[in-house]
Amino acid sequence: MAAMKGEGEAGGAPAQAGRREPNHGLRIFLIWLPVALAADLIIWFVWGPHMPPGDMADQARGQQFDINIMAIMAAPVVAFVLIYAGYAMVVWRHREGDDEDGPPIYSNARIATTWIGLTSAIVLGLFVFGTVELIVPAGAGAGEGNTPIWRPGGGTPLQVQVIGQQWRWTYRYPQFGGFETTELMLPVGQEVQFNVTSLDVIHSFSAYQLGVKADANPGVNNVAYTEPQATGAFIVRCFELCGLWHADMTTTGQVVSMAAFRAWTTAARAQLTALTALLPPYSLTYDPNSVKQLNQAFVKAGLSGAGGNYYGGQYPVQP
Ligand SMILES: [Cu+2]
């Protein structure tokens, strides 16, 4: 850092006598500026549209925007660190025959002020940005507990209950008679409210391309919103190590047209009438010991949830 001070302190070193130190700070800045600018333009225009998790839902778009903004803030910092390191290695390297100690380093008020000011601005800016993005535009896509801070405005969201259990996901559609299925179907352009819970251990429900990730806790209703913007498949995964077959808790969900969704719900509802009658009444949480369809042998053994398959081949339902 001392070398960036310029001529002020180097005067004491006999080797430098009579030679003005160049303005290293300005030189580093002039190398850094075009690199940082180019990096930010490439991130925003070239890389940005491909940043995860894509733009299949409004929450996903919001997350993609957040990642792009943070990348744009981070790139100039990374560029500065690398350029400073490179500059130091080239300009201030040890030279043949120079065995002298470097000049003593004193504090430099300008560098210290710049450093504290810039880093504070970056950190506080990220704090404000992060908080606003969580609460204001479209929610976080994350589980917000049972009293969400952000709620979608206007209209009734489609309710989909997500039930985690070792080791699969099932979904209940309370607005369509409360049938339960292993198929996750959503209509495009419709706000969806996921009510996420678990029958056994802690799981974490992630609908990757929809920008949704919400923990599934037993006895807790965890709400997450999303509005799919395009039809197609999305990946569903469990993101919480939940036992032996955790890695197997992965399926594919589908965003379809409203007409296809209505046809699917009608078919599934009719096909599952007998089974729906056996299910516990729809509720935001379930006591696994009183859920009738659980494998009785495992319940008796005190191992409810460890069976790996509660539903004995009655699913999935095809649209
Ligand atoms: Cu899991």
Q: What is the DSSP pairing of strand 212-216 with strand 185-187?
A: unpaired
Q: Which carries the bigger pLDDT value, residue 299 or residue 102?
A: 102
Distance (Å, whole) CA 304 – CA 204: 19
Q: What is the DSSP pairing of strand 185-187 with strand 250-256?
A: parallel
Residue pair 294/310 in contact (Cβ under 8 Å)? The answer is: yes
User: How many A from CA of 181 to the centre of ligand 1?
Assistant: 17
Residue pLDDT, tens place only, 172-201: 999 999 888 888 999 999 999 999 999 888
Mean pLDDT of the chain: 83
Ligand 1 ion: nearby residues, β-carbon < 5 Å = 203, 238, 242, 249
Residues, the chain, total?
319
Distance (Å, whole) CA 213 – CA 233: 16
User: How many A from CA of 63 to the centre of ligand 1?
Assistant: 23
Q: Residue 226 CB: number of other CB atoms within 10 A?
A: 29
Name residue 141's amino acid: G
Residue 305 scores a pLDDT above 70: no
User: How many A from CA of 33 to the centre of ligand 1?
Assistant: 47
Distance (Å, whole) CA 92 – CA 74: 26
Distance (Å, whole) CA 262 – CA 272: 15
User: How many A from CA of 61 to the centre of ligand 1?
Assistant: 26
User: How many A from CA of 244 to the centre of ligand 1?
Assistant: 9
Residue pLDDT, tens place only, 272-294: 887 777 777 888 988 766 665 55
Distance (Å, whole) CA 255 – CA 227: 10
Q: What is the DSSP pairing of strand 222-226 with strand 192-198?
A: antiparallel
Residue pLDDT, tens place only, 53-97: 998 988 899 889 999 999 999 999 999 999 999 999 999 888 888
User: How many A from CA of 249 to the centre of ligand 1?
Assistant: 6
- What tokens were used for 304? 């409810």
User: How many A from CA of 71 to the centre of ligand 1?
Assistant: 31
Least confident of 100-104, 122-126, 196-200, 226-230: 100-104
**DSSP symbols for 245-303:** TGGG-EEEEEEE-HHHHHHHHHHHHHHTHHHHHHSPPP-SS--GGG-TTS-HHHHHTT-
> H/E element holding 166?
none
User: How many A from CA of 289 to the centre of ligand 1?
Assistant: 19
Q: Which carries the bigger pLDDT value, residue 5 or residue 197?
A: 197
User: How many A from CA of 55 to the centre of ligand 1?
Assistant: 26
pLDDT at 316: 39
User: How many A from CA of 196 to the centre of ligand 1?
Assistant: 12
User: How many A from CA of 98 to the centre of ligand 1?
Assistant: 63
User: How many A from CA of 187 to the centre of ligand 1?
Assistant: 25
Residue pair 260/319 in contact (Cβ under 8 Å)? The answer is: yes
User: How many A from CA of 194 to the centre of ligand 1?
Assistant: 16
Catalogue the long-range contacts made by 149-155 (C-beta closer than 8 Å, 24 or more residues apart).
150/225, 151/225, 152/191, 152/193, 152/225, 152/227, 155/191
Q: Which carries the bigger pLDDT value, residue 96 or residue 314?
A: 96
Separation of CA 71 from chain center: 14
pLDDT at 274: 76
Least confident of 100-104, 136-140, 244-248: 136-140
Residue 230 gets which letter from DSSP? S
User: How many A from CA of 267 to the centre of ligand 1?
Assistant: 28
Residue 305 gets which letter from DSSP? T
